[in-house]
Structure 1
Amino acid sequence: MPPPAERGEYRIGANDLLSVVVFQVKDLDRDVRVNASGEISLPLIGVVNAAGLSVHGLETALEARYGARYLQHPHVTVFVKEAASQRVTVEGAVANPGIFPMTTRLSLLQAIALAHGPTNVANEHDVIVFRNVGGERRFARFDLKAIRNGELADPELFGEDVVAVDESGGKVWLRRAIELTPLLGVWSIFRSTRP
C-alpha cells in the first residue's frame, strides 16, 4: 500500500518532543515539548508557535527571533525526537484496542504489540490496514503469521492509519461453546433428576 500522498514534509503538532540546537550557543540548546496550544518556550525569545510548521519553517522562525535582538546570523537546527501528534488506531480482536501515539517509525507488528497482541479469537491471517491516500480511503490485507515467519515484510504504518484485526468465526464459535459447557452440564443434570 502506498504512503499517504499528502504526507509531504512533517508538520509539528501538540505533544511532539523537539530538540532545538543553536549553533555555538550551548546555553540555548533545549529539548522542548509542544504544549496543547501548539507552543514552545525558549530562553531569551519566550513563547513561539510551532504547531503546523515544518521543521524547516520552525528553524527559520527561531533564527528570525534570535537574530532580531540577541544573536548575529544565528543558525538553529530542530530535530523531532518524538512525533507524538501522529497516531495509529488498533481495533478489533486485540487485547487492548485504542489510539496510540507514534513516537517513532512504527510497523504493523509493533502496533499490534502496543495493543497487547491479538486475542485468542483473532484471525491472524486477516488483518486490514486502512489509510487515506490522496484523499481516498484505501485498505490492504496482511497475514500476521506470514510476517512473523519472515515470509512477508512487516509494513510501515503512517499517522492516522487504522489497523483492524478480524475475529475468526470458528474460534468465536468454539469459545462460546466452551463458555456454555457448564450451563449445558447443569441442564443435563436437571433433566436426569426429573421423574
Structure 2
Amino acid sequence: MKRIFHHPGKAAPAVISAALLAGCQSGIEPVVPAGTDAYATIAVDPAETEMAAARYGLRGGDVVSVAVFQEPELSRDGIALDAAGNINLPLLGEIRAGGLTTGELARLIERSYAAQYLRDPRVAVYLDESVRDMVSVEGEVELPGMYEYRDGLTLLSSLALARSPTEVARLDQVVIFRDVGGERMGGVFDVEAIREGRMPDPAMRPGDVVVVGYSAVQGRYRDFLRAAPILGIFTRF
C-alpha cells in the first residue's frame, strides 16, 4: 500500500482535531458527536455515493487529452490540471476544468472556441490518468501519513495501514473527519468497542481524516517505566 507523508501545509486537520481531543480528555463536553451519534453524523447516502462514482469530476493532478476535430494545432495530449483545477489551451488560455466531467469540459471548450475562433467546433476530452483517492491517518499511530483508499476500507483497517495506535493512544477518542454534502463533519469513535464487536467498524470514504487522540495517563506511565531502571526503582531478587 503506497504511503505518502504530509507536507507541513497540510497539518490543519491535525491541529483542529488536537484541540477537539484535548477538550474531550479534560472533561469538557465533546465538540464532535460520539457513540451512535458519531455514526449518524458521518453517514453517507448510498445513492449519493453511486451518483458520485458515475459522475467523476476532474481534480487537480488529473491528466486529460483534448481533441479538437480537424484542428490538430489546437489539440493537446497529456494536459495535467494544476492544483486549482485549471488547464491551458491554445487561443483560450486558462480554462476552469475542476469539478467538471470530461463531457462537460468538452462542451465548455466548444462554446469557448465557437464564441471567437471556430465555426461549429467539435471537441472530445479523454481522462488519461486520475489522482488516487487517499485517506489520512494522524495523531497517536506508529506511521502517520496518507494512504491509498480502496473499496472495503474501514476504520480498523486504516489504523492497521498506519501500523496501529501507539501505546499512549486514547482508543476511545478516535475522530473521523469527513465531507458530507459539502460540509465538514466529524465523529468520535471507540476503537476498543469496535474491536470487541460492541460497535460496528465504520466504513471509510475517500478524503477521510482519522486522528487518534493522546492519553496523558498512559503517557506518564510509559515515561515512568522508561525512567525506572535509571532511577533504580526496580530491584532484581
TM tier relative to shorter chain: 0.5 to 0.7
Equivalent in the alignment of 1:20: 65
With over 3 angstroms needed to count, the CA separation of the structure-2 counterparts of 1:23 and 1:51, relative to structure 1, is closer
Q: Distance in 1 between matches of 2:112 and 2:149?
A: 28
- Using the size of structure 1 for normalisation, the TM-score is 0.58
Aligned with 2:137: secondary structure? Answer: strand
The 3 A distance-change label for structure 1 pair 105 and 32 is farther
The 1:95/1:146 distance shift into structure 2, 3 A limit, reads: same
Distance 1:103 1:166 in 2: 22
Instruction: Tell me the secondary structure at the aligned position of residue 40 of structure 1.
Output: strand
**Partner letter of residue 62 of structure 2?**
L
The residue that corresponds to 1:34 in the other structure is 81
Decide which of 165, 170, 185 is 2:212's aligned counterpart.
Answer: 165
Contact 2:106 2:125 in 1 (8 A): yes
- Counterpart CA distance in 2 for 1:158 and 1:51 is 21
2:67/2:123 contact within 8 Å kept: yes
Q: How many percent of aligned residue pairs carry the same amino acid?
A: 22
2:140 equivalent in structure 1: 93
Distance 1:105 1:22, change over 3 A: farther
CA drift at 1:111: 5.0
The aligned counterpart of 1:130 is: 177
Q: 1:3 aligns with which of 27, 44, 47?
A: 44
Query: Whole-Å Cα distance in 1 between the matches of residues 130 and 122 of structure 2?
Result: 25
Higher strand share: 1
Deviation at 1:168, TM superposition (A): 5.9
Q: Kindly state the Cα deviation for residue 165 of structure 1 after the two structures are TM-superposed.
A: 1.9
Cα deviation for residue 93 of structure 1 reads 0.8
What TM-score do you get using the length of structure 2 for normalisation? 0.50
The answer to whether the 8 Å contact 1:109/1:144 transfers is: no
For residue 166 of structure 2, the aligned residue among 108, 120, 123 is: 120
Larger radius of gyration: 1
Q: How far has the Cα of 1:90 moved from its partner?
A: 2.7
Deviations 1:55-84 (A, max 9, x none): 243222223346664685524134373347
Given that 2:177 and 2:210 are in contact with CA atoms closer than 8 Å, whether structure 1 keeps it comes out as: yes
Q: 2:108: which partner in 1?
A: 61
Offset at 1:21? 5.2
- Give 1:119 shift: 4.3
Q: CA deviation at 1:155?
A: 1.6
Confirm whether residue 74 of structure 1 aligns to residue 115 of structure 2.
no
The residue identity in structure 2 corresponding to 1:30 is D
Structure-2 change in CA distance of 1:30 and 1:178 (3 Å): farther
Rounded Cα–Cα distance in structure 2 between residues aligned with 1:157 and 1:54: 21
Contact between 2:135 and 2:149, CA under 8 Å: does it hold in 1? no
**How many residues in Structure 1 have an aligned counterpart in Structure 2?**
178
Aligned counterparts, 1:168-179, within 5 A = 172-179=219-226
Q: Which runs of 5+ in 2 are unaligned?
A: 1-41
Q: 1:78 to 1:50 in 2, by over 3 A?
A: farther
SS of 1:156 mapped into structure 2: coil
CA contact (8 A) 1:130 1:139 kept: yes
Q: CA RMSD in A?
A: 4.7
